Amino acid sequence: MEYRDLFLGFFRIGVLGYGGGPTMIPLVHAEAVQKYGWMTDEEFADVLAMGNALPGPIATKMAGYIGYKVKGALGAAIAITALVIPVLVAMILLLGLIYKLKDSGIVGGMTHGVQPVIGVMMAVMAYEFFLKSWKSWVKSRTIAWTFVSVIALALFNVNPGLLIGIALAYAFIESTYLFKKRKKQQADSPDRGFSA
């Protein structure tokens, strides 16, 4: 059942993901988090950040990770295959037609019509992530990371992958520190010594 769900979910993403990786991210979120519940919003945000920090197409990396998380190596292969099949078929069947119509006003109008929809989908997803991080993180930390990110990207033209790498390194260091601190507190607590 889950193999079928993986195939259908990522096949739909491959069919509807007009324009490539960034346009597929909200669709992956809709399938993996909202429809099938394979991961939480927080896990999805972590996978998205890791996927952006690594080289290669974001959609296939996310498909591979989610497929592996749900059903191991075979699940990863099914998810990636389902995502890629519609794109390959469309490219093979439509390449000649698209080349003939590339200067057509209709094709240009379709492209310009889809771009605002993609922008709105990305903005809504970013807003939802911001709200979730606002609730789960210390509020001043969310504001600080947002401010630093905007300044680094807009004014200093920092590569987004570098910024994501710095944020991941910070999160790893902080979580390691908090984990060790919590473990030490549990070890020092006298009433938890022999508890099951």
How far, in Å, CA of 122 to CA of 43, rounded? 18
Residues composing the chain: 196
Question: 3-class SS at 51?
Answer: helix
Please give the residue that has the higher pLDDT: either 35 or 195. 35
Confidence of residue 188 (pLDDT cuts 50, 70, 90): confident
Helical (H) or strand (E) element with 186 = helix 160-188
Model pLDDT for residues 118-158, shown as the tens digit of each residue: 788 888 888 887 777 776 666 667 788 888 989 999 999 99
How far, in Å, CA of 71 to CA of 185, rounded? 36
For the entire predicted model, the pTM comes to: 0.58
Model pLDDT for residues 41-99, shown as the tens digit of each residue: 888 988 888 887 777 888 899 999 999 999 999 999 999 999 999 888 887 887 777 77
Q: Where are the domains of the chain?
A: 2-110
Contact 47, 66 (CB under 8 A): yes
How far, in Å, CA of 26 to CA of 149, rounded? 21
Confidence of residue 196 (pLDDT cuts 50, 70, 90): very low
The confidence score (pLDDT) of residue 8 equals 93
Q: Which amino acid is at 48?
A: L
Whether 167 shows a pLDDT value over 50: the answer reads yes
Degrees (nearest 5) of the Cα angle 20, 33, 88? 25
Any residues with CB less than 8 A from the CB of 128 and at least 6 apart, and which?
41
Any residues with CB less than 8 A from the CB of 165 and at least 6 apart, and which?
53
Contact 27, 16 (CB under 8 A): yes
Confidence of residue 19 (pLDDT cuts 50, 70, 90): low
Nearest residue to 51 (alpha-carbon basis) of 32, 36, 34? 32
Q: What is the CA radius of gyration of the chain?
A: 21
How far, in Å, CA of 8 to CA of 10, rounded? 6
